[in-house]
Amino acid sequence: MISERHNHDVVYFGSVNLLDTNEIVGSIDVWRCRLCNKIFCEDKRWGTTELAPEIGFPEIEEPSKWAILVCSDAKDLTWTLLAGTPGAKMDHECRIDKHSDLILGPDYDLKMEESVEDIAQHSLFLVEDFINRECVIRSKKVPHLSG
C-alpha cells in the first residue's frame, strides 16, 4: 500500500448487481487504483439517465468502506450508496417518513437509536463482499406454484 498521496491510476474493477427478489433495481460500478488498490464506487439506478454531479471518483478515507444502505417496507424499498465508518451515526430519512439515527457497529453491523423495525427493515451490505456478484437487497417469499 502506498502511504503517500499520489495521482490514482483508476481502472474498472467490476460491478455489483442489486436485486429486489428477482428484479434488478440498480448496480454499483466498482473502480480500483492500480497503485494503491483503493476502491471507488458509482451507483447506477434503473430508469435514471442523469450523470453524477461530481466529476471524477468520490474518495473515502479509511476505516470507511463503501456500503449499500437499504430501507424497505412491505411495499417498496430505497437504497443508497454511502461511506460507512464504524461508530458513525448516519442520518437517515426513513421511507416511512420517520427520522431515525442509524449507527454503524465495529463490524459494520447496523444498529438503531430508535426502533422502527416493526414498520421498516434496514440492511447494510458492504460493496467489497459482492464485487462481480449479485446482492439480494430484499427477498420476498414467493409461493411455489404447482401445475
Contact (Cβ atoms closer than 8 angstroms) between residue 131 and residue 125: no
Instruction: Give the burial class of 108: count Cβ atoms within 10 A of its Cβ; 0-12 exposed, 13-18 middle, 19 or more buried.
Output: middle
Residue pLDDT tens, the chain, 147 long: 444 678 999 999 999 999 998 889 999 999 999 999 999 999 988 765 565 555 567 788 888 999 999 888 777 888 989 998 998 887 777 766 566 678 888 888 887 765 545 567 888 999 999 999 999 998 765 444 444
pTM over cut 0.75? yes
In 3D, which of 3, 104, 105, 8 has the Cα closest to residue 57? 8
**Domain residues of the chain, as ranges?**
10-49+60-138
pLDDT value of position 35 = 94
pLDDT value of position 146 = 41
pLDDT value of position 131 = 97
pLDDT value of position 144 = 45
